[in-house]
Chain A
């Protein structure tokens, strides 16, 4: 079955960087687009970024554009999120999520990891 396990969260000072990773198993990782979605404490879901299965397409939310970079290593079934210039309002649980889109296509999120908490605080 689909399994997504995030890692790399923690407490980080404002202005610093952090890298999140997501290890995927149970499906052909290189076929499918992958997302990052976040949820601030007590708040709703906020979409962050997506990368297509073949790496040809990437999109970002305006709130993170220019600061966050999504990447993937299909040989290791890993999705990454490099976050820089972190701000207190980036504090959230970050979820890795699988898209049902194959190759260069994008579709709906069908499976989610359990999330990793990032706290930006001095």
Chain B
């Protein structure tokens, strides 16, 4: 199975900051990677697919990059509603696998 190593596991930041979250795959997955945001008690929501394509309705302060084994999610100018937990998901090879998650907290 492909392992997805996501870092950091937790991150403190302030409104207006720029943050970056990384996912590394244990083997190459082309660009078959998505990013999700989950708020407490809610279902996840997709932010990014195919590593860098913004899901419809997602603000442009979110961006993704990467291919192969290393991927990043960047959030520019953090807003209060962005404090949540973020997950990556690879769907190149089944079983598909999630990263462990990154909890983004207000500093």
Residues of A within 8 A of B (CB): 44-47, 50, 59-62, 95, 100, 106-115
Contact = CB atoms under 8 A, between A and B. Distances in A.
Chain A interface main SS type: strand
Chain B interface main SS type: loop
Contact of A45 (B42, B46, B55, B98): B98
B95 to A, nearest CB: 5
Given A44-B100, A45-B101, A108-B34, A60 B87 contact: no
A47 B46 CA distance: 15
A109 B95 CA distance: 13
Interface string B50-62: 1000010000000
Q: Interface range on chain B: under 10, 10 to 19, 20 to 34, or 35 or more?
A: 20 to 34
A44 B46 contact: no
A100 B44 contact: no
A60 B95 contact: yes
